[in-house]
Structure formats: C-alpha cells, structure tokens
Structure 1
Amino acid sequence: MRGTSWQTIVATGVVVGAVSYLGLSVLETRAGTVVPVASQTWLVLAVVAVVLLLLGRSVRRLAEGRTTGMDHLRAARVAMFAKACSLCGAAFTGYFAAQVAVAWTNISAPALRDHAVWSGAAGVAALALLTVALVVEHWCRLPPDDDPEPA
C-alpha cells in the first residue's frame, strides 16, 4: 500500500469544497436556508483523530520491536484506517470550508455567525484528523528489505 499523496489530498479537498460551495450557495439562494452543522461535529472528528493516534502509537511500537498488544493483521487494519481518515479528513476540510464561505456572505446575522463558528470548528477538527492520519500512515511504513535478492 502506498501512502496518500499530497496531490490526492489537495485535489480531494478542492473538488469537495468547490462542489459543496456551489450546492450550498444554490440551496441558500433558492430555499433561504443553510445545511445545519451540529455543534458536536468537531468533537466527533477530534475523538476519531485521538483514537487513530492511539492505534498508530501501538503500530509504531510494534514496528520498533517493543512490547505491544498489536499484531500484524491489526497493524494492517490501522494502516487502512489511517488511509481512509486522510481522504475523509481532506473531504471534510473542503466541505466545512465551503460551509464557512457560504455563511460568511451574511455573517452579521446571529444564526449564520453561529453556523460559521461551528463549521469552522469542524473544519479545524477535520484538518487535525487529516494531519494525524498522515502521521499514522508514516508510522505504518515498513522498513525496506535488507535482502538484495530473494533466493
């Protein structure tokens, strides 16, 4: 498995952000409402980032040969979870950035101000999830084989 490239992360964030901005703008102008963002969204993303970080530490300990409760199959699952979280973190960052941009158009309204605050908090948490996922992906890399040619 290859690590997530920065081009994939940027492309995912930009495409999701642009499509979300267009859809949310049309929805706001036609229906006069915005898609609500729960005030606990940032907390859920932060909890996922912490769980991923703790799992990643166990994989790192396994790769270094230290004592841990992690086995190789679970380590592979953590690597796939980190890959999925990096893509989801990029997509959520783009989506919540679009939410903030739509709410910013009329920030003087109290409801839109609260919407922008919670969307911004969720965007920061999504960016933290993305960062943690990339770090854990790095920890899950195996060292290159020492054998020049298998027999």
Structure 2
Amino acid sequence: MTPLKPWVLSIVVVLAGIVGLAVNAYAQRASMPTPVLPLSALASMGVIAAVTLVLGFRVLRWRTGHRKRMLDPIFAARTLVLGHACAYAGAVLLGWHAGVIADQIPFLSSRADNPVVLQALGMMAGGVVMVTIGFIVERFCRIPPEDGDDAEGASGRDVAGGGRAPDAEGGLA
C-alpha cells in the first residue's frame, strides 16, 4: 500500500473546500440552512479517531517487541487502511467546513453570534485531528528494515504489505 501523500490530502482539502463554498452559496441563495455538521458529530469523529489510534498502538506494540503471539497480517492491513480512511475523511471534513467559513466571511460582521461558524471551526479542528491520527497510525504500521535486506527493497514496507506486489507472471513489479 502506498503511503499517504500530504499533497494528495491538500488537493482533497482544496476540492472539498470549493464544493463546500459552492453548496453553501447555493444554500444561502435558496434560503436553506447552512450545510454544516452539528457539534455532536465531533463525538463520532472522536470515537473513530480513538479506535484508529488504539488499533495503531496494538500494531506498534507488536512492532516494538511486545510479542506474545504472531500479529495477524490482515489485522495490520485493516489498521493501515483505517488510518488512511481516517486521514482522507478528515481532509474532506476540513475542506468542506473551510469552504463554508469562506462563504460566511461577508456575513460575520452582521451576525456576531453566528453559531454556524463555531460549528464549522469545531469540525475543522476535528478534521485536523483525524488527518494527524491517520499519519500517526500509518507510521505505526511501518516496519524497520531487517539486517539482511537491501536498503531499496526494505525501506517503506508496512507490516501489512511486506514490500512490493508480484506482477502477472509471478515476479516482483
């Protein structure tokens, strides 16, 4: 599995921000409510982030030598995928709510007690936390190169992936 790339997540944030800005502008013109998740959504985001982090710590403990039994490679792969999903979901939430705030800027002076901005700021903070946890868990799932491995083939492997994938003929790609 390829590692998370900050530039890809940045593109996701920008695209989600543009869509959030456009949808909020349409909602304002149509006299609809602002499309922001309520602050109660932070609880579910927190649960997702906590579960991802706990599973990442289990992989990290195995990796650092606290091994009572063999680590299930499927568990490690699922943990890595969950970390990636957490990072991408956080990037989407961060971008969407940043776009909503960008569209609300002209109205901030007229509505000083605007709860939508506070909700959006809270969701943006939750998105940053989710992206951070995604990067942390990905780091937990990396295994160090073994003594006998060459530097090129062993670097960047994760616990779940084990290096490069075989191609159609059975050789390494």
TM range (shorter): 0.7 to 0.9
Give the TM-score of the pair, scaled to structure 1: 0.86
Q: 61-70 vs 127-136, which deviates more?
A: 61-70
RMSD over equivalenced CA pairs, Å: 2.2
Match of 2:128 in 1: 127
Q: How does 1:9-88 map to 2 (within 5 A)?
A: 9-67=9-67, 71-88=72-89
Does the 8 Å contact 2:37/2:119 carry over to 1? yes
RCO greater where, 1 or 2, for CA within 8 Å and sep 6 or more? Answer: 1
SS at match of 2:142: coil
Match of 2:158 in 1: none
Match of 2:149 in 1: 147
Change (3 A) 1:45 1:127: same
Deviations 1:43-73 (A, max 9, x none): 2212211111111111101112213685322
Match of 2:115 in 1: 114
Task: Spell out structure 1 runs of 4+ moving beyond 6 A.
Answer: none
Give the TM-score of the pair, scaled to structure 2: 0.76
Does the 8 Å contact 1:89/1:126 carry over to 2? yes
Structure 2, gaps ≥5 residues long? 154-173
Deviations 1:50-106 (A, max 9, x none): 111111111101112213685322111100111111111111110111122233332
Change (3 A) 1:110 1:75: same
Q: 102-111 vs 123-132, which deviates more?
A: 102-111
Structure 1, gaps ≥5 residues long? none
Going by fraction, where is helix more abundant, 1 or 2? Answer: 1
Q: What is the percentage of aligned positions where both structures have the same residue?
A: 22
Does the 8 Å contact 1:13/1:91 carry over to 2? yes
Counterpart Cα distance in 1 of 2:45 and 2:117: 17
Q: 69-78 vs 15-24, which deviates more?
A: 69-78
Q: 54-63 vs 40-49, which deviates more?
A: 40-49
Change (3 A) 1:84 1:97: same
Report the residue type matching 2:97 in the other structure: F
Counterpart Cα distance in 1 of 2:26 and 2:60: 46
Aligned residues between the structures: 148
Counterpart Cα distance in 1 of 2:144 and 2:42: 35
